[in-house]
C-alpha cells in the first residue's frame, strides 16, 4: 500500500480561495440582514411621521374655521 500523497498545490490554492469566498459570502449575508432590519425600522418611522403630519394637517384645517384670537384681549405676561 502506498502512502497518501500531498494534494497538489493548485488544489490547496483552490480550497483556500473557496474558503475565503465562503467567509466573504457569510459577511455579505450578515450585512444584508442588518441593512434589511434598518430599512424596516426606517419604514416604520416614515409611516409614523406620515400619520403625524396627517394628524397635524387635519388639526390645522379644523382650527382654520375658528376665529383668530385678538392679542389685545390677552392679559400681559406680568398679570
Copy the grid coordinates of residue 8: 497538489
Over residues 21-74, the pLDDT tens digits come to 999 999 999 999 999 999 999 999 999 999 999 999 998 888 755 566 777 777
DSSP conformational letter for 73: G
Domain-wise residue ranges, the chain: 30-59
Q: Hunting for cell 394637517 — which residue is that?
A: 57
pTM value? 0.57
Residue length of the chain: 79
Amino acid at each position: 500500500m502506498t502512502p497518501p500523497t500531498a494534494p497538489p498545490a493548485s488544489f490547496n490554492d483552490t480550497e483556500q480561495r473557496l474558503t475565503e469566498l465562503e467567509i466573504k459570502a457569510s459577511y455579505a449575508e450578515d450585512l444584508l440582514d442588518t441593512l434589511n432590519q434598518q430599512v424596516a425600522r426606517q419604514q416604520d418611522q416614515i409611516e409614523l411621521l406620515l400619520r403625524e403630519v396627517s394628524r397635524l394637517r387635519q388639526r390645522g384645517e379644523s382650527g382654520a374655521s375658528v376665529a383668530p384670537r385678538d392679542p389685545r384681549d390677552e392679559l400681559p405676561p406680568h398679570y
